[in-house]
Structure formats: structure tokens, C-alpha cells
Structure 1
Amino acid sequence: MPSRFLLRPSTLLGLLILLFSGAAAARDWFVAPNGSDSWNASGSINAPFASISRAFWSGYAGPGDTVYVRGGTYWLNAPQWVSVGGAAAAPLTLRPYPNETVILDGAGLPATGPAVLTVLASHVIVDGFTVRNSTGIGIQIWPDSTPAENVVIRNNTVHGCQKSGIFIGHKLDQTTTGVRNIQITGNTLYHNVQENRARTWTSNWHPALGILYSQDVSVHGNRVYENYGEGISVMQSRRIGVSRNVVHDNYSVNLYIDGGAETRHEANLVYSTGQTDYFRDFYHTPGKVPLPASGIQIANESWPEWTTPIMAANNVIINNIFIGNRAALSYGNYQNGGGLKSLRFAFNTLYAQVETALQVDPDTHSDNEFSNNISVQIDGVPHTWLSGDVSGFRFHHNFWSGGAPQPVARSASDQYGDPSFNRPGGYTAADYILLPGSPAVAAGQTLTGVSQDYFAKSRQTPPSPGASESLELAYNTLIDHYYMAILGRAPDAGGRAHWGNEALRMQIAGVDVQEAFRVMAGWFFRSPEYLAKQTGDEQYAADLYRTFFNRQPDSGGLSFWVGQLAQGMPRSLVLYAFLFSPEFTGYMQNLLGNTGSRSEVYAVVDFYRGFLNRLPDSAGLDYWLGRFRAAQCQGAAAINAEVDTISRQFIASAEYVQRNRNNSDYVADLYYAFLRRGAEPQGFQYWLDQLNSGALSRDQERLALLQSPEFQGRVQQIIQQGCLL
């Protein structure tokens, strides 16, 4: 018997242990609108439960299991509970059935205001629901007598709730937090905290996303907007990371630290668009108008039920962008007070705050740093409102535009002038990239613990103040590398400027700039200058290694690719394999940072690159994105129809026809445009044979790739991005 079919003794022993240990295999359970919660219900796909709570009765869902909720709207008259958890290596997952939408409507819940869905247990994942109209909270983690740990709340949309959209926390006694090691990621929360819709309350409304009596929590990649309470509030909690969230147009405060310690608020986009429906009347004084929420506010409110309340201290606020808020950073000395302690506010971009950029009430402050920020104020609005003893602050290496701050906030290391933002006044992070030639470039000072910017790109030495570095140096590094590795020469000034401007144009348009450099590499390898070198297959493969892996080829890898080329694989397919390799992606990520796009943007750029071998022109990009985004507002069927129509139009265009692609090239183009990769040898040969034999026409083959599970997964991502218009 061939050795590859033999089980090693250790493997056989492991199987025997599993066989006789009685370990239960993970199981799927099902909930459906037409299900039954009777005592003898099985919870199978053909005999589902009627409610989520029923799946967690004793003896049913447990560690490693998945509870699938079938599509539909569940008009709830009782709150739902996840009362059984998983295990560290086998979490329990609650999610909609694949490709189905589940709406949990809480309008019929008791007026006492319970949550629609409460997680009581540990090692649980709640993924992908729409929760709406709760008489209380949407989704909460609120354990009883034992902690809830290692819970993930992700990819949910919560709106229209009377109280919070998502709320976590519980104290087990007067000193012990009950919620630990939690991830809240990829959720969208809007139009919550309806209890304060009239905006007449003076206190005690809920936040849209609240963390209370918790520790070691990550709040990452959420969208929180247009809620009648604070956006994201950290209360009486430690070691909370709030990162890469978009938080805007909430009531009173967008990001709130109320007795939070050791928090890190990083790379958040926080702004007000001027929607007065969410403004607060802070002063209740004739002549004073309501104002938008503060960007981030710190205070120490009273918590009498907590034996030793946590005081705000050792908080880090870096790489954030604040636009049009009441103030970017505000400290209030109300209730417990106590002052700002060991706060680091650094490398933030502040643009056009309405009342002041920095507002600090008088108190006993100590060991606070305000450095490496860019603050732009317009129409004479002051940069700072500082009163009382401010000896507890150290200001340095800030860049001020639109006047100077109060003397106590100035330092000899400051700069003044126009920082040359890409598109100031907009509401995207790309609007605040520093343009080439900005006087802010390299005007900062390196700080320990701040190695990346808003886009996760490495900070330069010396760094630039504000949330993002200028990308000019990174662009030029990669452009110069392409010239040397592919063409064997240094770039001419005109060529470097052209490609740098193209990369910047894509970045400004909201396109992942890494896509620009992928297109650029393809163009270099197909340029007349490179083709004139008439490289053989071995030299071509070696050039790919040097370009994309920045090293000489290993003998095994070189032999493999030369063999593929000798067997007829087009050079373009080999190029695509290198372009999308993890090694090259990691290289670009380190150089350019995290510059990801929405899924429909990738699709349009892929069609341009795959079919036309170029970057989209600005008008074309806007046109095709407009078509995709109109379809996103109409639903899945419209998106699938547009994917079909748009790809057919690209292939039928005069520009593509004039490329005169043979069948091999055509197969490569389909892989490149639809699947974002080169073809595996067997797959390439299969599709090529289909064309050469006449079994499929080119359009039939296009449809086959379009309908493939791999590409349909990308279509699902476009659908899930939702309506942007």
C-alpha cells in the first residue's frame, strides 16, 4: 500500500481516544419562523425550534455547536437568552442561516424594557443579525452569578431601540467586574436611544454602545451614528480598546470615557455633519444655540453602587480624526471630578471644531501630554479653552492652523500654517492625508508606542503630526523599486511624478492604493521598454521574484514557474500569482498601511485591471460605482444583475476588443477580473480546453466564472456592504 495512505501511530491513537472518550461532535441546531418550542422539538433543519431561547435548554446546544436562525422577521413577545456557552477551543455560535436575513423585532416586548437578545454565558459568538425596535436594549451581555468571558458580538445591525443598541457589563459584587475578554466588531448602530428622542432629558439616557463594569474589551470597526445618546461609552472599565470605528452625529458626546482606565482610543473617525436633530442644548441660556456632540469627552461621574469607583487615568488617544464636533477633546469636572491623569493625546487630526478644539475644565491635572496633533480652526474659532492650573499638561510638536492657541498651549517646537490636507471639510479619512510638499511632513517627534498612523502605515522618522503620514515617501519607495527591479534603471523624474500622482488619485478617490501598485506592476511588465528586453522564461520568473518578493528566486520555486511557462501558461497568469501572493501583500501593507476599500470599489477596479490593464479614469470610476451603489440600495437581485451587465459591457468595449486577446489571454483576464488571482494549472487548462473545443463560447465562460462559488462570495460581500447613497 502506498505510504501516503498509512496512518501514523500517533494519529491512530488520537482517533481511538476520540472514538472511546465519548466526546460529542459539534452539532447544528435550527430556529425558524414556522418552528415549534414544544418539549419534544428536535431542533433539526426539518423540525426547527421557534425561538432562540429554546435552543439553549439543558441538553441541547452546547460547546462547538452552531445555532442557525432561518431567514425572516421574528416578531418577539419575549426576550431571547443565550444561557449556555461554549468552551475555549469550541465556542458556541449563533448566526443566521447562510445567505438569509434574520430580523429580530422587539416592538412587542414588555414595556419594562428587556433586551431583545441577552448573552449570559462564555465562549459565545453572535454574528450577523438585524435587531430593531427593542423596548429596551438590542443586544446585551449581562451575566448572572458567574463572569461572561470570551464573547464575540460581530456584524450585527441594531436600530430603533429605546435604550442602547449594544450594551455589555455587570458587576458580580461591589468590586468585581463580570464581563471580560469581549470583542464587539463590525456592527452598525443607528437611531437608538429613542428614550431621549425629544432631547429634553438632562441625564441618565443610555449610550448607543455601552461598556460598563468590564475589562479587556475590543470595540473595533463599528459604525455608530445618529443615536440620541453617546456614541461609544466606556464606563467604570479597564483596558478597553476602541479602534477603527466611524462615529458621527450622536447626542452630547461621540466617544465618552466615564471613569475608564487604561483605555486606548485609536484610529477612529469622529465627526458631526451638522444634523441639528442630534444637537444638545448644553447651556440652557438665551442666546446660546444647541451644539453637536463633543468628539471625545472624559469625566468621572458618580457611581455610588461601586465600592471603589474607577477614576479616569492612563488613557491613550492617538491617530484619530475629529471633524466638526463641539470640541475634539473635552474634560468635564462635574460630579466626582478629579482631573485628567496621565492622558496621552497625540497624532490626532482636528478640523473645524465648532466651539473649541481642546476644552478642559479647571481641576487637579497631572502628567498629561498633548503632542504631534494638527489642529485647524476656521472663522476665528479658538483652538483651546484652558482655565485654572494647567501645569499638569505638556504641549509640544503640534501644528496649528487658523490662529494660535492660548500661550500655555504653545511650545517652541510647534509649527503654524496650512497643513495641505487632501480635501479638507470632507468626512472620510482620505480627505485628511497630507499632500506632497505639506509643511507638516516630518514636523513631529517620535513617541514610544506610536509606530503606525491611522492607515496602519509605519510612522516615518521623524514622523508627521496628525493622524496620517504623507504617502509621498512610501509611493516613491515602491515606484523606485519597480523601475530598478523590472526595467533595471532609476526612474526619470517625469515617470516617478506620473505614477505618484496616479497612486494619489486612487487614494483620494477612496480606492485601496495597493490596487494602484498592482496595476502599475502589470503595466511595467507589459511596457515596450520591458518587452524590448526579450527575456526568456527563466529571466522573467527571476524578475518576478525580485520585484514582488525582493529576493532572488529559490531553485524549487524557479523550476516550478519555468515549467508552467514552458507548458503554455501565459506570463500574465504567472504575474497575477505573484501580484496577489501573501508575501507581496504583506510587503505593501507594511509600506502603505491599511488602505482598504469597500467591496464594490474593488470590483470596479478589478474589472479595469483585469479587462483593460489600467487604472480607472476618474469619470469612469464614478460612473460604474454609481451603478453598483444604486443596485446596493435595491437588493441582492439588482447587484447580481449589474455584475453580469457591467462585466459584459467591459468585455464588449472597443478598448477590450482592440487588445485582441487570444483564448489563453481571455481565460487569464477572467481569473484576474473575477477571482483576483492567477489560475491554478488544472483550472486554466480546463477553461482553455472549453474554449478551444467550442464547448463554451467566451460569453458562456464569462457566465460560468461569474457564477462560481468563489466569485459569488465576492458578490455577497458587495451585498453585505449595504446602501451608501
Structure 2
Amino acid sequence: MQPFFSQGMRYSGLGFALLALCLLLVQYAQATTWVVDESGKGNFTSLDAIYSYKVKPGDIVYMRGTFTKVQTLQNINGTKDKPITITSYPGTRAIVDGTTATPGDWQGLVRLNICHFIILDNIIVRNSTQSGISFYYNSDTVVQNCLVHDVQIRGIGGCGDNVVLRNNTVYNGCMQNYAGKYGSWAQVVSSNSCSGKPLKNWLIEYNKVYNSWGEGIDCIQVSGCIVRHNVVYDTYSVNIYVDNADGVVIDSNYIYSKNPFYYRTTTYTWPATGILVGAETWMANPQPSFNVTIKNNLLVGTNGISNFYVGTRCAGLQNWVNNVRIYYNTIWNPNATGIGPFTWPQQRNVVSSGNEFRNNLIWTKRSGWTISNNVWVGVNTIPTNCTDTSGTRTSLAVNSTLINFASGRLPTIGSPLTDFYLGASSPARGVGVALASVQTDYNGYARASKPSVGFVEYGTQANSAGANSDGDGSSASVATGFFLAASRSVSALFLQA
């Protein structure tokens, strides 16, 4: 069965807004509406009370007011053409507050269990002694436009196939590890298998995740996972993590570490890794991580891009990472005392192969890596372990004051995205190598035939500010129902990646 949701583009412009509104009105005009109100003034007092013989495919369930108990939706199913939407009552924003609630271990204040073709939209979930929004054995699930904060474990996540997490904001996640005191940590937003079998087809886009004490956004035990256009900053361990996953694309994310309060303090004190590709040992069906593309990302003040292995389960055959392609990233002002902008330790069990590191703008060569057309900033020479593997010198080393950004300023941690756009005289302009697998930049504009290195192509930057009015790269709100338009599915998107 094909998933029902669309690819999802950068949502902006009056035309898209009008189309979204029209689709929303058409959907609502044809649907039966229900009201959930804990005070008893609606059709139901909780999501637990919804029965499938009443709520049918295409219906809309409005949540109204503040809910003080765990909300569980169980065995409720829409269809591909008529998903069931759960959203806030018009003109309000429903709140699920767990101050006095008692969810089970790792359970969410809002739970979707064995549900299919469900949209959860525009609610606030806060103050959970466990997790925020969780789902189990679901398929074709969308969680969008939600705010989750002050949860002890995970903010949003669970297990299921064909899942979209879009335009959510999560902060103060994994609070059980506040100030690093717990010694271990969960993920703030993540996939996670329930049965040990890999999940399929996850799309995590336009979310903001910050000020949290675990891992920011994770693709764990999943085959097919796209993480794009997210803003992730000041998380404790790692900002974006790929673990036991394949067919992963990490594209056009803004990642930074600014506040030392969130630095990891286990065996050292330094900021989170920007993007990490790992192969940890899981209790059930551990698998390697492979076919991972990391492109068009801006990483500022983090511990760059790295990998991680642990354990030797099943003779160690699962603990390896291969076929990682790192293209067109800007890695700026990496932590001086940490692991640096790019570190790829030799794995123990399988010789790594099929890896590429090209067209990156950065401020070490490992066997199994192809390295070319990178610009190293702030050093006199290219680091010994990072010289080109082609036999021809195609990379550059320049002083940081000579990189010539269009702003005329040398950016720092917390600078707006536009401060990282290249100027006309930048030595990083037009020195990349064309890559058939990467046709567009962070802003969605075409790469030149002789591309510039880094996350934004020179010459396109005047057409886009690269961020919303907040200046942090996060997206505007996505209207409920927009993705119901008959356009390409997420499955088609994965085939293109």
C-alpha cells in the first residue's frame, strides 16, 4: 500500500497558502466533526473514549481545552484518501499537561497505538514524567505543527512505517539527564523499532529541536529516512544521529552549538557532535548503517561529522558503516578541543568502503574515503590525513579572513544563515566538482555546472533569504490538509534520493 502523504516542499507564498486553505475547507466540508473536551462539554472526554464505530475515515476530531490525563488513541483507522485528523478546536490550541498524569515507562502523554492513516496536528504536550507524543505499530502517521516541551524522555517518536514528523517544535527534552546528571540519555525526536525489525520510510522535516539533554533527531533501525530542513541546536550528545539504518538522507539542516551549559560532560566537556553515523549494538536484530548521504547542511560550533561503533554482537558483523557520501556541507568554527570538523575512526570489524567527502567548506583522510574539492579555512595547509585521494590537488586551504562571505563579516556561532553565503571573490566559489546525485543546494536552487562548495550555491543566494522571518532557518506553519493534494508520495521521494 502506498503512503498517503506527499513529498512536502518548502511551504511559502500566497499561492501555496490559498491552495492549502482550499484543500482544508474541502476536506472539512465533507467530514463529520467530533469534539473531545475533558470537562464533558464535547462528544468525548478523552481520546481513549473514541470508538471506531463512531469515528470514521475522513472525520475530524477537535481537542478543546486542557487535558490532565494520558490520551490514548487505540485501533482507529482512516484510509489513504480519507485520513482521520486530530487537531485543536478552531481558534484554540489544546494542551495535554502531564503534571498529575502517570504514563507508563517510556509511554507518551499522547499515544497512538495500532492506528493507521492518522494526522495529529497543532496541539501542545508538556510536563511528562515519561515521553511526549509516542506511537506504536502504526503506519501512515503524520505528526505536525505540535509543540512538545519539558518531558523526561523522548519528545516525539515511536515505531511504524510511512511516518511524517513535520513542523514541530521540541525543547527541554530528555530532562531526566538534565545537566548530564543521569549519565545516559534518550532521543528527542526519533524512529525506534518495537519488534527489532527495521521500520520503513520516515520523513522528518521543518522541525525545531533545541535545549535538550539527549540526542536531537535520530534515524534508528529504519530503512529509508529523510531528515531535511530542520533546525537543531544545543542538544547534549549529538544533533542528528543515524544508527542501524540504511537509505538515509540528511539534507539542508541548520545545526549549531552555542550554549556551553548543554555541552556533554561524560569523559570530556565539549559540544555535541553535529551529525553522527553509528552502528551500535541493539538487543534485537542489530544491523549496519549504510547508504547514507549527508548534503547541504550548515554546522556551526559543533563537533562536526563523525562515526561511532560499539559492541561486537553476532561476531561483530553488524557493527560497521559503509557507503557514506558527504557533499556540499559548511562546517564552521568547530570546537577547538573536541574531535574537530571531520573524524572517521577506523572500524574494527569490516574495512570501510564506498565513502566520499566532496565539495565541503570546512575551518582525517581515512582508508576507504575519496576526498576532493574541499575548502579548508583557517589553516596554512590541508591536514595530512585529508589530502585529495585523486592524485590531483583539487582542494584549497585559505586563511579565514580571506574566505570572503557576501556579508563582509566573519560569521560566528549564532550568526544568521545569510552570513555564511559566499561573496563574489570567495575562493570557494566555483571550485567544486559536479555531483550527479546532488542537483540543488540548501535553498532548493540548482547547483552550477562548476559548483561552489558549501551548503549554498553562489549566485542563487540573492533569490532566497535562506530562512524565515525568525532568521534561524525554521519553516512557517504548514496548513493541515495541504499534503492531501494528489502529488508524489514519500515512497517516490525515497526512490529519487
TM-score interval, normalised by the smaller of the two chains = 0.7 to 0.9
Determine the C-alpha separation between the residues in 1 that align with 2:377 and 2:118.
48
Distance apart, 1:458 and its partner CA: 0.8
Residue in structure 2 matched with residue 151 of structure 1 by the alignment: 141
Amino acid at match of 2:32: R
SS of corresponding position for 1:335: coil
1:219 aligns with 2:204: yes
- The match for 2:34 among 23, 29, 32 is 29
Residue in structure 2 matched with residue 57 of structure 1 by the alignment: 51
Amino acid at match of 2:305: L
- The match for 2:88 among 74, 93, 96 is 96
Residue in structure 1 matched with residue 293 of structure 2 by the alignment: 316
1:209 aligns with 2:189: yes
Residue in structure 2 matched with residue 611 of structure 1 by the alignment: none
Query: Which of the pair has the greater relative contact order for Cα pairs under 8 Å at 6+ separation?
Result: 2
Residue in structure 2 matched with residue 48 of structure 1 by the alignment: 43
Determine the C-alpha separation between the residues in 2 that align with 1:291 and 1:335.
24
Determine the C-alpha separation between the residues in 2 that align with 1:405 and 1:104.
53
- The match for 1:459 among 421, 427, 447 is 447
Amino acid at match of 2:424: P
Q: Does the CA-based 8 Å contact 2:297-2:329 persist in structure 1?
A: yes
Distance apart, 1:82 and its partner CA: 4.6
1:123 aligns with 2:117: yes
Residue in structure 2 matched with residue 369 of structure 1 by the alignment: 356
SS of corresponding position for 1:452: coil
Residues 560-582 of structure 1 deviation map (CA, whole Å, 9 limit, x = unaligned):
xxxxxxxxxxxxxxxxxxxxxxx
Determine the C-alpha separation between the residues in 1 that align with 2:276 and 2:241.
5
Larger proportion of strand: 2
Amino acid at match of 1:239: G
Residue in structure 1 matched with residue 476 of structure 2 by the alignment: none
SS of corresponding position for 1:437: coil
Residues 406-431 of structure 1 deviation map (CA, whole Å, 9 limit, x = unaligned):
32311210022232223411443222
Q: Does the CA-based 8 Å contact 2:179-2:261 persist in structure 1?
A: no
Provide the TM-score with structure 1 as the length reference: 0.55
1:67 aligns with 2:61: yes
Residue in structure 2 matched with residue 233 of structure 1 by the alignment: 218
Distance apart, 1:277 and its partner CA: 2.4
Residues 523-581 of structure 1 deviation map (CA, whole Å, 9 limit, x = unaligned):
xxxxxxxxxxxxxxxxxxxxxxxxxxxxxxxxxxxxxxxxxxxxxxxxxxxxxxxxxxx
Residues 466-505 of structure 1 deviation map (CA, whole Å, 9 limit, x = unaligned):
001122xx5xxxxxxxxxxxxxxxxxxxxxxxxxxxxxxx
Residues 429-448 of structure 1 deviation map (CA, whole Å, 9 limit, x = unaligned):
22211112211111000001
Amino acid at match of 2:60: T
- The match for 2:284 among 291, 296, 305 is 305
Distance apart, 1:49 and its partner CA: 1.8
Determine the C-alpha separation between the residues in 2 that align with 1:429 and 1:454.
11
- The match for 1:439 among 415, 423, 427 is 427
Residue in structure 2 matched with residue 141 of structure 1 by the alignment: 135
Change (3 A) 1:219 1:111: closer
Distance apart, 1:210 and its partner CA: 1.2
SS of corresponding position for 1:197: helix
Determine the C-alpha separation between the residues in 2 that align with 1:594 and 1:318.
19
Residue in structure 2 matched with residue 188 of structure 1 by the alignment: 169
- The match for 2:371 among 373, 380, 395 is 395
Q: Does the CA-based 8 Å contact 1:340-1:368 persist in structure 2?
A: no
Provide the TM-score with structure 2 as the length reference: 0.79
Q: Does the CA-based 8 Å contact 2:139-2:161 persist in structure 1?
A: yes
- The match for 1:429 among 410, 417, 436 is 417
Distance apart, 1:323 and its partner CA: 0.3
Distance apart, 1:261 and its partner CA: 0.8
SS of corresponding position for 2:108: coil
SS of corresponding position for 1:454: coil
Distance apart, 1:61 and its partner CA: 1.2
Amino acid at match of 1:209: V
Q: Does the CA-based 8 Å contact 2:288-2:321 persist in structure 1?
A: no
Larger proportion of helix: 1
Residue in structure 1 matched with residue 386 of structure 2 by the alignment: 409
Determine the C-alpha separation between the residues in 2 that align with 1:149 and 1:427.
39
SS of corresponding position for 1:138: strand
Residue in structure 1 matched with residue 274 of structure 2 by the alignment: 295
Determine the C-alpha separation between the residues in 1 that align with 2:442 and 2:261.
30
Determine the C-alpha separation between the residues in 1 that align with 2:266 and 2:63.
44
SS of corresponding position for 1:226: strand
SS of corresponding position for 2:343: strand
Distance apart, 1:266 and its partner CA: 0.2
Change (3 A) 1:599 1:395: closer
How many pairs align?
414
Residue in structure 2 matched with residue 450 of structure 1 by the alignment: 438
Change (3 A) 1:244 1:88: same
Distance apart, 1:594 and its partner CA: 7.7
Residue in structure 1 matched with residue 468 of structure 2 by the alignment: 597
Distance apart, 1:79 and its partner CA: 3.7
Change (3 A) 1:335 1:269: same
Q: Does the CA-based 8 Å contact 1:107-1:133 persist in structure 2?
A: yes
Determine the C-alpha separation between the residues in 2 that align with 1:600 and 1:253.
23
Determine the C-alpha separation between the residues in 1 that align with 2:293 and 2:131.
29
Q: Among the aligned pairs, what percent are the same residue? A: 29
Determine the C-alpha separation between the residues in 1 that align with 2:40 and 2:429.
62
Determine the C-alpha separation between the residues in 2 that align with 1:444 and 1:428.
24
| Superposition map of 1:277-292 within 5 A | 277-283=261-267, 289-292=268-271
Q: Does the CA-based 8 Å contact 1:139-1:167 persist in structure 2?
A: yes
Residue in structure 2 matched with residue 520 of structure 1 by the alignment: none
SS of corresponding position for 1:195: helix
Amino acid at match of 2:362: S
SS of corresponding position for 2:385: helix
Distance apart, 1:85 and its partner CA: 1.6
